[in-house]
Amino acid sequence: MKKLILMALVIFFGATANSTFAQKETKVVCFKSSMDCENCQKTLTEHLRFEKGVKDLKVDFNTNTIFLEYKKGKNNDEAIAKSIEKKGYKAEKISEDEYHALVDNQEVKKE
Amino acid sequence: MKNILVLFFYVCFPVISFSQSISGKVFGKGEKGEKQPLPGVHIYWENTQNGVASNDTGNFEIKQKEGQHMLVFSFVGYTTKKLHVHGSAPLEVVLEPNLEIEEVTVVQKDRGTYMSKMDPVHTVRIGNAELHKAACCNLAESFETNPSVDVSYSDAVTGAKQIRLLGLDGIYSQLQTENMPNLRGLATNFGLTYVPGPWMESIQVSKGAASVVNGYESIAGQINVNYKKPDDQEKLFLNVFASAEGRKEFNGNTNMKVKGDTITTGLFVHASDLSKRNDHNNDGFIDEPLMQVVNVFNRWKYNNFKGFMAQAGIGFMNEDRLGGQMDFREDMERTVENPYGINIKTNRLEGFLKGGYVSPSGRTAVALLSNFAYHKTNSFYGLNDFDADETRFYANVVLTRDLDIYGKNSINTGVSFVNDHFNESLYSNPITRTEQVPGVFAEYTLKPNEQFTLMAGIRADFHNNFGTFVTPRMHMRYQFSENYTFRINAGKGYRTANVVSENIFLLANARPLLWSDDSFQEEAWNFGASFIQDYVLFDRDLQINAEYFYTRFQSQLVVDRETSAENIILSSLNGKSYAGSLQFDMRYQPVERLDVLLAYRVNDIKQTIGGVLKEKPLTSRYKGLVNFNYTTNLKKWMFDYTIQFNGGGRIPVVSSDAAIATGPEEFDPFTIMNAQITKYFRYWNIYVGSENLAGFKQKNPVTDAAHPYGEFFDATNVWGPVLGRRIYVGLRFHLNH
């Protein structure tokens, strides 16, 4: 019985999650930034996740990159770049390919 | 096709997961910036508990599983470092020295509750995420989503909440704030409601006799509360809360940097009010007592970043509770002609001072922990008055030393002192007593590798009333493979039973209390074993825990409500008394960001009451708990749902006298549901929820409610919720530095 409830819940949550995220067209924007510590990563994540229309977000201080996906019409690249700069970080726009190149091919930083 | 094969493989062999090894060498930066190999560094993947330690030459090797990128390096005395690992090239890592002992912070989804595999004591940590799941409001309400701790009302009129750990009453768990024993003595009955939820940073619940460092008192376990620190990121926090029942609450705290990061201070405020008289079960009694509380606390922290740290704080609390019949007013003359009423006024002043010094080598540390409390209560229950005050002082000095440079052998030793003075008065009997207990202790920890820890401690205390007694305790942890952790513990515990004050809520019944000793010493052995299994199932951590704890009392205060029709007898145990608790729990994320907890516990608690070994009354025989917690991507919404299945139990009835209108001798199993939705915004969040969603209520929590001065009146036979469904809404606002 418990198993059944569990399964029902899984299906329910799975379905709602899928439908809400697939509703509107989204746009991806990537930036190269100037974070130098983990706290910056945290600050920016906390700040950007509440920007209008944001659907997905990856902030990484090791590669100094920001990946952001937002709903079209709710926000635009420039406003997001401004918002990053407002917090005191660089927001140099890069293409999605460049972003993936940075994140996927990064070598461990050697001290 | 390949994916299907992989899936199939996972299904067939859930325990196996693909992995490769990452190896490397860790160095520490010395005084002149030179690199030295650093042994004993704890290396683990972020958000997991799979870790290794660097060996004598600083070398290490760790398995990397799918989805594990961030490697964390942590070592006492050095700044914790995180590295994004890609590829399998050997790593070279240099750690910077840092004299402040810092805690490792966890990013990504905070699972709320976390069971440590490293700690030799079986400990469950309840973090901020878990605290957000509960409505608010105070420590007593923070355990709603926790399978190990039960919270219940002790009676139907005072609103006192009691917790049970391992099925044993809260008095057998040592309550601590900031690692110092607190909220004991006169604060026992209401102490849990004195700690406002939003002030807390985290709670640690450990089961079984705890470390000897904090005293001889913990028998069933230990509950420690950590408050928010003055040097936290949080600059300002405000919380308002209101329930449909008319409870209003305000909490706030603010941090200030007085001198950079060296001197910081925090101010905490709590005020709450419940002035609405509710009687949903129509028994003529107020369901939840009217209450006004003001609680303020100011704390300071000093850190010179050269190894010395000190903290101090002072707080004041005033509480006024009023319960009883709906028509009762506080200014009424108390006679049998007027309605029945209860009033409890409490004033409490408390403070603490602690300091610590870590030697530059990081191998030796000295800490002083001390606190004091002045607690005064003036109360009446119907026609009976109870007035009391308590003045308590506690100090503990602990010396910690690593006996070798790898920290494989370390010792904790020190001295402690308690001075506790009570003045009480009930039925015009004055009760005065002073406890003075100096003590010494030593605890040895052997940690030859990351897999094994042995902790053995002993303490001797010299009590002015009960003489000298010795407390031995032992904990062992063995992680015999990456997936299996095994723990055992055994230990003795003692506590002073404050016969009258800790049972004072029993005055809410027609039978007077009868006791011979005002205080005596309770004594018990506790044994426990637990087994934790960790698997990676479909790339997500699955944790299964099984545990058994057994407590056997040599001396105990027994509340006998069933032998005499004239009195409730409070006497010392004459015969056997034991408590067994078997618990299973399982935590898993079946889909991303949905955490599921399934737990089940069986209690077997027996006591010799009136010469017969009986089940402890008003205690559920089992408890099942299912908790679902779901957050949307980027945690903008959080949904939480808990269902508790509480087993039936025994109701104490006087068997000897047939003339008494006895009720049923058993209560049936019952179910309680709680749910909450939280919506997060950048600076604030709003939450709406319901406690006891299905509205289950104990029928007739007050026996013979129509005749509160009659001989059958009893508001203390409470086993289930007195209140039905409660709906609430709250708002939290926070600003960071």
Q: What is the 3-state secondary structure (H, E, C) of B433-497?
A: EEEEEEEEEEEEEEEEECCEEEEEEEEEEEECCCEEEEEEEEEEEEEEECCEEEEEEEEEEEEEE
Calpha distance B42→B62 (Å, rounded)? 11
For chain A, the distance separating the N- and C-terminal CA atoms, rounded to the nearest angstrom, is: 55
pLDDT at B20: 66
Report pLDDT for A42.
81
What CA–CA distance (Å, rounded) separates B556 from B564? 19
CB of B48 closer than 8 Å to CB of B567: no
Question: pLDDT category, A103, cuts 50, 70, 90?
Answer: confident
Rounded Cα distance between B251 and B268, Å, is: 8
Output Rg (C-alpha) for chain B, integer angstroms: 26
Q: Which residue has the tokens 């890592």?
A: B93
CATH match for B113-736 among 2.40.170.20, 1.10.132.10, 3.40.50.620, 3.40.47.10 = 2.40.170.20
Compute the distance between CA of residue B310 and CA of residue B304 in angstroms, rounded to an integer.
Answer: 9
Q: B170-173 — which CB contacts under 8 Å span 24+ positions?
A: B171/B495, B171/B497, B171/B502, B172/B218, B172/B219, B172/B220, B172/B221, B172/B493, B172/B495, B172/B524, B172/B551, B173/B218, B173/B219, B173/B220, B173/B221, B173/B222, B173/B223
pTM of the model: 0.81
Q: What is the pLDDT of residues B135-176, one digit of tens each?
A: 667 888 888 888 888 888 888 888 888 888 888 888 999 999
Cβ-Cβ contacts under 8 Å, A20 against chain B: 632
Which pLDDT belongs to residue B64?
A: 76
Domain ranges of chain B: 13-95, 113-736
- Residue B381 buriedness (CB in 10 A; 0-12 / 13-18 / 19+): buried
Which tokens sit at B235?
Answer: 């600059």
Provide the token pair at B381: 């229950």
- With CB atoms and an 8 Å threshold, state whether A108 touches B83: yes
The reply to whether residue A110 touches residue B92, judged by beta carbons under 8 angstroms, is yes
Q: Is A110 on the interface with B (CB under 8 A)?
A: yes
More confident residue, B658 or A72: A72
**Contact call for residues B713 and B509 (beta carbons, < 8 A):** yes
In the prediction, which pLDDT does B33 show? 61
At B653 the pLDDT is: 85
pLDDT of residue B80: 75
Which residues numbered 676-695 in B keep a CB inside 8 Å of some CB on A? 680-682
DSSP character string of B671-713 = EEEEEEEEEE-SSEEEEEEEESTT----S-SSBTTT-TTSTT-
Instruction: Kindly determine whether residue B87 and residue A107, on different chains, have CB atoms separated by under 8 Å.
Output: yes
Minimal CA separation from B648 to chain A, in Å: 20
Which of B84, B88, B102, B103 to probe the A interface (max A CBs under 10 A)?
B84
Residue B203 pairs with which residues in a beta bridge?
A: B126, B225
DSSP A43-106: HHHHHHTTSTTEEEEEEETTTTEEEEEEEBTTB-HHHHHHHHHHTT---EEE-HHHHHHHHHSP
In this complex, is the C-beta atom of B91 within 8 Å of any C-beta atom belonging to chain A?
yes
**Chain A CB within 8 Å of residue B34 CB:** no
CA distances from B399 to B367, B456, B599 (A): 6, 16, 39
Which B-chain residues 549-608 have CB contacts (< 8 A) with chain A?
Answer: 590-592, 594, 596, 598
Q: What is the pLDDT of residues B595-621, one digit of tens each?
A: 999 999 999 999 999 889 999 999 999
Interface size, chain A vs chain B, as Cβ–Cβ contacts under 8 Å: 61
How far apart CA B311 and CA B108 sit, in angstroms, is 30
Do residues B156 and B288 make contact, with C-beta atoms less than 8 angstroms apart? no
Residue B635 DSSP class: G
- At B246, is the secondary structure helix, strand, or coil? coil
DSSP assignment, residue A12?
H
Q: With contact defined as beta carbons under 8 Å apart, do B420 and B498 qualify?
A: no
Residue of A nearest to B87 (CA): A107
Least CA distance to A62: which residue of chain B?
A: B84
Taking contacts as CB-CB distances below 8 angstroms, the residues of chain B near A40 are none
Residues of chain B with confidence (pLDDT) below 50? 1-2, 4-18, 99-110, 659
Chain-centre distance for alpha carbon B466: 28
Pairwise CB contact (< 8 Å): B636 & A57? no
DSSP state of B307: S
CB of A13 within 8 Å of a chain B CB? The answer is yes
At residue A89 the predicted structure's pLDDT band, cuts being 50, 70 and 90, is confident
DSSP-derived letter for residue B89 is P
**Alpha carbon A91 to chain centroid distance?**
14
- Domains of chain A, each with CATH number or no CATH: 24-104 (3.30.70.100)
Topology of the domain comprising B13-95: Immunoglobulin-like (2.60.40)
- Do residues B697 and B721 lie in contact, with contact meaning Cβ atoms separated by under 8 Å? yes
Separation of alpha carbons B524 and B551, rounded Å: 7
Is residue A2 classed exposed, middle or buried when 0-12, 13-18 and 19+ CB atoms within 10 A define those classes?
A: exposed
What pLDDT is attached to residue B656?
Answer: 60
What letters, b where the CB count within 10 A reaches 16 and e where it falls short, cover B209-231?
bbbbbbbbbbbbbbbbbbbbbbb
Q: Is B626 in contact with A2 (Cβ distance < 8 A)?
A: yes
Which residues between 36 and 65 in chain A have a beta carbon less than 8 angstroms from any beta carbon of chain B?
A: 38, 41-42, 46-47, 49-50, 54-57, 60, 62-63
Sign of CA dihedral B653, B655, B657, B658: positive
Type of residue numbered B238: L
Q: Do B107 and A14 touch (CB under 8 A)?
A: no
Q: Which residue has the tokens 């440590």?
A: B116
| pLDDT of A9 | 54
B412 vs B210: CA distance, rounded Å? 14
B86/A104 CB distance under 8 A: yes
Local structure of B141: helix, strand or coil = helix
Report residue B104 as tokens. Answer: 């490792």
* Inter-residue contact B288 to B274 (CB < 8 Å): yes
Query: Exposure string (b/e) for B406-424, b if CB count within 10 Å is 16 or more?
Result: bbeebebbbebebbbbbeb
3-state secondary structure B160-221: CEEEEECCEEHHHEEEEECCEECCCHHHHCCHHHHCEHHHEEEEEEEECCCCHHHCCCCCCE
Q: How many angstroms separate the CA atoms of B140 and B164, rounded?
A: 11
Rounded to 5 degrees, what angle do the CA atoms B201, B203, B204 make? 140
